[in-house]
Amino acid sequence: MRMSARARLALLLGGCALGACSPSVESAAADAPDTTAHNSASGSAEGEDAALSPSPAAPGPDNCLLVVWQDQDTRDESFDLAHDSADGGAISCATGTSASQFASALAAIRTAARANDKAAILREVGLPLLYIDAEGNRRELTRPDDIDGTFAEVFDEDVLALLREVDLDALTVVPDQGAFVELGSVWLVVDRNGGRPRIVTVNRQALDEAARAMRAQAEAGRGTEAPAKSSE
């Protein structure tokens, strides 16, 4: 059962407070603009003038896609335009690549995980790979031999089960950080603008948190079911 976007983001922020998420999420939250200064300034004449002045417009998704497409030899413009929106914002603006690149990578990951194809999974992994185990211990794997030697631990059955079903609808994007699924259980980023995203973080602790959250949500849903009407 897939959680709603609101539930995923709320649980993500709570998980980060406990250290369950990738540092990328924490840094993204820390970099969020402080709007209180703008709000307090609006009480003064200078603040009122500033409030009335138009703010510089952020690049729209179409503009981000144009930038991304310039770095791609081939592209699927209709698909990218139709699927650029994700939880957290536009895929192209947040990640520097297109929805079709993510769709292609995720399809390859699903196929490899369903076939238990170790070599194919490793082709979708970027270096260095950050691995966070169930206790929150972090390990940076910088060489192919490191990942090969710890493959069974990093890509255990629970992680493979997630990868077998991952798709574009599951993505949440964080500007300039990349994209993740299941509360940060797996992060994907690109190494160049317009490139193919690869797995760079596997967070076993976050995956366990996501499983507990889904169980709690299912139990809460069952607890709020309307009682059956008595027969008359």
The residues, ordered by sequence, that sit 6+ positions from 103 with a Cβ below 8 Å of its Cβ are 79, 83, 168
User: Taking CA 191 as the corner, what is the angle to CA 187 and CA 194, rounded to the nearest 5 degrees?
Assistant: 100
Give the dihedral sign, CA 206/162/3/186.
Answer: positive
Q: Which residues pair with 174 in a beta bridge?
A: 178
pLDDT at res. 184: 94
pTM: 0.70
State the greatest distance between any 2 C-alpha atoms of the chain, in Å, as a whole number. Answer: 71
pLDDT at res. 58: 53
Residues of the chain below pLDDT 50: 1-57, 231-232
Q: What is the mean pLDDT of the chain?
A: 79
The residues, ordered by sequence, that sit 6+ positions from 209 with a Cβ below 8 Å of its Cβ are 11, 15, 20, 183
pLDDT at res. 166: 96
- Summarised one tens digit per residue, pLDDT across range 120-177 is 999 999 999 999 999 999 999 999 999 999 999 999 999 999 999 999 999 999 999 9
